[in-house]
Amino acid sequence: MKHIHILGICGTFMGGIAAIAKQLGFRVSGCDANVYPPMSTQLEQLGIELMQGYRVEHLDDQPDLVIVGNAMSRGNVMVEYVLDRNIEYTSGPQWLLENVLKDRWVVAVSGTHGKTTTSSMIAWILEYAQMSPGYLIGGVPQNFASSARLGEAPFFVIEADEYDTAFFDKRSKFVHYRPRTLVINNLEFDHADIFNDLSDIQRQFHHLIRMVPGNGLILSPENEQAITDTLKMGCWTPTEFSSDISLSKELPQSASRSENDEGWTAEKLTADGSQFIVRFNNKKQGTVKWNLIGDFNIENALMAIAAARHAGVPSQVGIEALAEFINTKRRLELRGTVNNSAMTNVKVYDDFAHHPTAIAKTLAAVRANVGDKGIIAVLEPRSNTMKSGVHKDTLATSLSDADQVFVFQGEQVQWSVDDLIYQCHQPCMVENNIEELVNKVASMAKTDDTIVVMSNGGFGGFHDKLLTKLIINETNY
């Protein structure tokens, strides 16, 4: 049995690689700087050997291959040990290509936003259609027991990240995936730690586009200029597009829908997007009725239905599947509702926000859902790009649908978050202590408020601390 050791095993992607390798019959071990639940529990249950920290002793068993996560860099003692002793090594994406993807129909979901949700939707639609797909998703899909599985041939759904592959391969991860069906949800500047500007990212996306075969399909929105410009660099594959979402004529502020609309379109039957009609080339495919809200989730759904259709699932089946879709954890996930003598119906949501566009779309969805009831936004700028201050001038605008804003000034944030106090049109408070932030948000909450906590990290357990505080606050009245 060939032995694989994974450096950085507790990341979602590398943990998925570990799970798939185990299903293929490899002996799998791995280490990480921090080995903790839920990933550690999931891996241990699969029989994968986990080790704490990066120590050369972890390689005493002399593995046949070391898979190096992209968080590893030169200077890491294990990386140096592998190089000095000429131990065979590779990256996670390259291993996945050589051992799984080269023989599969790959459905890849790329873009700045919505990759995890759309990948989860596609995998679920294929599962609902009894196709038993393989998948590797950078989150926790709640329709499945884990974030990755080998599945049965031919289909494999993968979240196609543009971040770099490894310290020795600075290409984007997704160039290793060779998709037959490619979704490009959107394309904006992000990952300022590895890309200089948007054109750098477009170049990587065009490398990906070059790999999609002539009998494949590329799906994207038609109104994304950055995607249009990237496709104009050269495209040898059929394309299908989604267009703007309209409101039913029966709803206020409805947008007229052209009778000549081509591609994938949606007509909302509810303002918050919880019900909408799906059309392809102006022919009605069916009506989605689900528990999700927001135009951005409708956009994700159109891409998912279209991608599954290319894989052989009729649109109506995809629509039926989405009625049973449970959104990925941390994507506008309801963490709790507080009802006590002091306040009622106070909802606390967790959202994996990492970019002003995603923040704006999330809060717009919440506003459409709650109407004129109160929205409190709590933001931790935590991604490398957010911490560097690249998006600081657009953050205030992205928060405009909130009635009250709280921002956490973390130690690694390289700009003064206090600037937002003056840029926001609504009250904005900045805090650098988690416990104090919890106290301030809890003191502000009132009946029927929706509190949206936005961070792409653990945020120091803020969500649970806030719910606990809101509950015990009853004794303060």
Same domain for 355 and 296?
no
pLDDT of residue 459: 83
Burial status of residue 329 (CB atoms within 10 A of its CB: 0-12, 13-18, 19 or more): middle
Residue with tokens 């020795």: 168
* 135 shares its domain with 252: yes
Is residue 328 included in any domain, yes or no?
Answer: no
Count of the separate structural domains present in the chain: 3
pTM for the full predicted model? 0.82
Return the pLDDT at 473. Answer: 61
**351 and 302, same structural domain?**
no
Residue 467 near residue 348 (C-beta atoms within 8 A): yes
Strands, E assignment, 343-413: 346-351, 375-379, 404-408
Token readout for 272 is: 């918050």
Using the structure block, give the residue that is written with the tokens 């991608």: 307
Q: Which of 256, 287, 322 is the last residue of a domain?
A: 322
Closest of 217, 14, 20, 172 to residue 101, by C-alpha:
20
Which domain range does residue 441 map to?
333-476
Structural domain contains residue 327: no
Q: 322, 355, 371 — which closes off a domain?
A: 322
pLDDT at 366: 87
Sequence letter at residue 181: T
* Pair (144, 202) in one structural domain: yes
Check whether residue 115 and residue 173 sit in a common domain. yes
Eight-class DSSP state of 331: S
Residues 311 and 340 in one domain: no
Q: What pLDDT, on the 0 to 100 scale, is given for residue 252?
A: 52
- The CATH number of the domain where 20 resides is what? 3.40.50.720
394: domain CATH number is: 3.90.190.20
Extract the tokens encoding 393: 């001038």
Q: State the alpha helices, DSSP H only, in 24-178.
A: 39-45, 77-84, 92-99, 115-128
- Same domain? For 296 and 344 the reply is no
Phi, psi (degrees; rounded to nearest 5) at 161: -85, 140
**Same domain, yes or no, for 375 and 291?**
no
Return the CA Rg of the chain.
23
The strand pairing partners of 32, in sequence order, are 52
User: How far from 308 is each of 121, 123, 352, 377, CA to CA, in Å?
Assistant: 9, 9, 25, 35
Q: Is the dihedral of CA 309, 311, 312, 316 positive or negative?
A: negative
**205, 182 Cβ separation under 8 angstroms:** no
- 443 and 379 co-located in one domain: yes
From 303, 322, 341, give the residue that closes a domain.
322
Element (DSSP H or E) covering residue 284: strand 283-289
Which residue numbers in the chain have pLDDT < 70? Answer: 249-261, 354, 384, 414-415, 473-477
- pLDDT given for residue 195 in this prediction: 86
Amino acid found at 404: Q
Q: List, for residues 157-207, the tens digit of each pLDDT value.
A: 999 999 899 999 999 999 999 999 999 998 988 777 788 889 999 999 999
Q: How far apart are CA 107 and CA 159, in angstroms?
A: 9
Contact 1, 21 (CB under 8 A): no
What is the C-alpha separation between 287 and 269, in angstroms, rounded?
9
- Distance, in Å, from the CA atom of 173 to the CA atom of 347, rounded to the nearest integer, reads 37
pLDDT for residue 319: 98
One domain, residues 188 and 317? yes
Task: Evaluate the omega torsion of the peptide bond into residue 38 and state whether it is cis, within 30 degrees of 0.
Answer: yes
Exposed / middle / buried, residue 284 (Cβ in 10 Å: 0-12, 13-18, 19+):
exposed
Which residue has 């490009």 as its token pair? 184
Residues 87 and 104 in one domain: no
Residues 33 and 169 in one domain: no
For residue 278, the domain's CATH number is 3.40.1190.10
Give 30-35 contacts, CB < 8 A, sequence gap 24+. Answer: 30/5, 30/6, 31/5, 31/6, 31/7, 31/55, 31/58, 31/78, 32/7, 32/8, 34/10, 35/9, 35/10
The b/e string for 138-159 (b: 16+ C-beta within 10 A; e otherwise) is: bbbbebbebbbbbbeeebbbbb
